[in-house]
Amino acid sequence: MSGHGIEVWGILNVTPDSFSDGGRYVDAGAAIAHARRMRAQGADVIDVGGESTRPGATPVTPEEEQARILPVVRELVREGIRVSVDTVHAATARAAIEAGAEIINDVTAGEHDPALLGAVAEGGARLVLMHSRGLDVTQDTRYGDVVAEVAAHLRARLAAAVDAGVPRERIMLDPGFGFSKEPEDNWRLLAGLGAVGRIGLPLLIGTSRKRFLGTLLPEGARPEERDAATAATAVLAAQRGAAAVRVHDVASTVSALRALVATAEAAPDPALRPQPRSGAISLTGVRARGHHGVLPEERRDGQEFVVDVQLVLDLGDAIDRDDVHATVHYGELAERIVADVGRDPVDLIETLADRLAALCLVDGRVEHATVTVHKPQAPIAVPFGDVAVTVHRSRERSDWVVL
């Protein structure tokens, strides 16, 4: 994360008609050069789009979209740059994943083309589900409680994605700033971001150069003049638990986020710094059936696995609020563990344990996860008591130990 605390995604519009930078990067060479600049400025991911979502934009076919983006995606991947592709089309998602894209970012959360969810599941990519009410970003902008309605919609789309086979731990959520929302709705959504975060998945925030930021500036100001406000909202989003921000001007946002980190680390009086109350949640003896193993009979017949989990996190908020939404819901975690053990067979319990540890870290509150997978029915020819693998994962490092 280049020292700025959360991921910064640089926006690369390979389109002639985007609202902010349409036409600048239609040429593949210019697009690749701009992506390199953003990477040098501190971008963790380059988000490539071949179809504009601005009001009144002309729709393009998946074929045209792919012709615009795939040469760019292939070159960026070849250079070792992490790539997300912004698309609503299943065919483009498949082609992008084949070209090496790590993430598919769908502004309709799979509603425009439901086959996109299955394409992402089959391709093994990560998925961003964004709140919107269709591709026309100006339609149906009335809300009773914008935060609650956005959260409810994202929960429903999350369920659809999981049902389509996308593992929960591969999914991020985007509240959809600027899509079907009036300016005041966007500010309420930013203020209430914590409620969306309680869904338990990483949040991607995309306020960059949006129309509601323009209300802070003199009339007639150009979209590029919204970059300072964009950086400010990135800082506010980070303070509210966002995992990533998506921006046009990488340099200004990275600088603002680094200032936030530096200030937090440099408080002269320790009493002025946030005081975490680190603790642990243990969940042991979770029994689940799966078909993991190297032997044909293990894959065919399956067997029982037993999982122990210990999570290290700051429990201060939960203690102060006495609210289950402020901590890890261990009942829901147990259900997710059982579901994960039951899917996608692997050869080694080392792989399974690491996968479950990654699942635990999906909740942004968890700083470290220790997962032990026991295989009590392992096909061993001599008497034995247990065989288990323990994996330790944190947000900064990973290691594993066979016990």
Max Cα distance, the chain (Å):
80
Q: Which residues pair with 291 in a beta bridge?
A: none
| Cα gap 45→8, rounded to integer Å | 7
| Cα gap 73→357, rounded to integer Å | 30
Q: Which of 68, 126, 209, 246 is catalytic?
A: 246
Q: Are 313 and 278 in contact (CB under 8 A)?
A: yes
| Cα gap 130→138, rounded to integer Å | 16
Q: Are 106 and 129 in contact (CB under 8 A)?
A: yes
Question: Hey, CA dihedral for 80, 73, 247, 194, is it positive or negative?
Answer: negative
- Mapped onto helix, strand or coil, the DSSP state of residue 90 is helix
Q: Which of 74, 126, 210, 375 is catalytic?
A: 210
Q: Are 396 and 368 in contact (CB under 8 A)?
A: no
| Cα gap 332→225, rounded to integer Å | 44
- Residue 336 annotated among the catalytic residues of the structure: no
Dihedral Cα 164, 170, 176, 177, nearest 10 deg: 180
| Cα gap 120→236, rounded to integer Å | 31
- Residue 210 annotated among the catalytic residues of the structure: yes
Closest of 53, 9, 48 to residue 31, by C-alpha: 48
CA angle 332, 335, 337 (to 5 degrees): 110
| Cα gap 305→289, rounded to integer Å | 6
Catalytic positions, please? Answer: 210, 246
